[in-house]
């Protein structure tokens, strides 16, 4: 999985570099809420999903005529879950780097007012600090895949709903083993953001 993550980063950076060389580039601020859902590989950990928050900077590079572009962000993200197996509350802070391919629907007259779009791409999350709790161990780095949709209003404001599917493990629970292996968990999450672009 580490090799896949490295290759993905290199390919995405190459695409971003190529796109920005011939595209319209805009910068902006993004903020919103995230709802985290842990997916364990064995159904022994009862959990409660909690809302967190996210915010940071974004860049968009797009080809206006065809509506295709790249959307990348650097976001501070706070995620939280209650785990009832050991009455543990997991609070985690990440540096999230989502890099999405974006297709924006261009409707001649309406595009000045509203432009719907869809997005997909990888999200790389780096844990800020240490949040191991008892038998729960948190991985420092994990990768997800995003699928989302949204709309741009007046060519300045973007509202975006996004679902992230965990590709690599984010946790291990060492308090109980199944088939002589620790129970592993992945991060899945909904994120709803608003962005203002210059």
- 3-60: per-residue pLDDT in tens? 666 666 666 666 555 555 557 899 999 999 999 888 877 665 555 667 899 999 999 9
Q: What is the pLDDT of residue 137?
A: 81
Give the mean model confidence (pLDDT) for residues 107-127. 92
Domain ranges for the chain: 2-197
Residue 121 host element (H or E): strand 114-127
Beta-bridge mates of residue 92: 79
**Cβ-based burial of 8 (10 A; exposed 0-12, middle 13-18, buried ≥19):** middle
d(CA 119, CA 14) in angstroms, rounded, equals 18
Of the candidate CATH numbers 3.20.20.70, 2.40.160.20, 2.60.40.3140, 1.10.357.10, the domain formed by 2-197 belongs to 2.40.160.20
Q: Distance between CA 111 and CA 160 in Å, rounded?
A: 17
Please measure the distance between the N-terminal and C-terminal CA atoms of the chain and give it in whole angstroms.
37
Give the pLDDT confidence score for residue 84 in this predicted structure. 58
Contact 172, 137 (CB under 8 A): yes
pLDDT of residue 5: 61
Q: Residue 193 has what pLDDT?
A: 98
SS3 12: helix
pLDDT band with cut points at 50, 70 and 90 for residue 135: confident
Q: Residue 107's pLDDT band (boundaries 50, 70, 90)?
A: confident
For residue 165, what pLDDT is reported?
Answer: 96
Taking the alpha carbons of 98, 75, 157, 65 in that order, is the dihedral positive or negative? Answer: negative
Q: What is the pLDDT of residues 145-179, one digit of tens each?
A: 999 999 999 999 999 999 999 999 888 877 665 55
Determine the pLDDT at residue 32. Answer: 98
Provide the H-helix boundaries in the chain.
Answer: 2-21
Alpha-carbon span 112 to 107, nearest angstrom: 9
Instruction: Kindly report which listed range (40-49, 70-79, 183-192) carries the lowest average pLDDT score.
Output: 40-49
Say what percent of the chain tops pLDDT 90.
Answer: 51
What are residue 158's phi and psi, to 5 degrees? -120, 130
Mean pLDDT of the residues in the chain: 84
**Quick one: pLDDT at residue 115?**
94
Average pLDDT over every residue of 61-90: 82
Task: For residue 17, give the DSSP letter.
Answer: H
| Stated pTM of the model | 0.81
């Amino acid at each position: 999985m580490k090799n896949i993550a490295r290759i993905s980063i290199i390919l995405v950076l190459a695409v971003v570099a190529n796109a920005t060389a011939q595209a319209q580039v805009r910068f902006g601020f993004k903020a919103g809420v995230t709802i985290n859902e842990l997916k364990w590989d064995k159904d022994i950990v009862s959990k409660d999903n909690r809302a967190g928050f996210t915010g940071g900077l974004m860049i968009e590079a797009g080809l206006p005529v065809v509506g295709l572009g790249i959307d990348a962000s650097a976001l501070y993200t706070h995620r939280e879950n209650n785990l009832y197996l050991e009455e543990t509350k997991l609070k985690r802070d990440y540096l999230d780097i989502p890099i999405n391919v974006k297709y924006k629907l261009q409707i001649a007259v309406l595009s000045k007012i509203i432009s719907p779009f869809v997005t997909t791409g990888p999200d790389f999350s780096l844990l800020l600090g240490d949040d191991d709790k008892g038998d729960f161990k948190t991985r420092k780095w994990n990768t997800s895949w995003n699928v989302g949709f949204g709309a741009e209003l007046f060519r300045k404001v973007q509202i975006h709903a996004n679902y992230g599917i965990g590709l690599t493990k984010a946790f291990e629970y060492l308090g109980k083993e199944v088939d002589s292996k620790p129970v592993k968990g992945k991060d899945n999450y909904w994120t709803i953001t608003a962005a203002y672009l210059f």
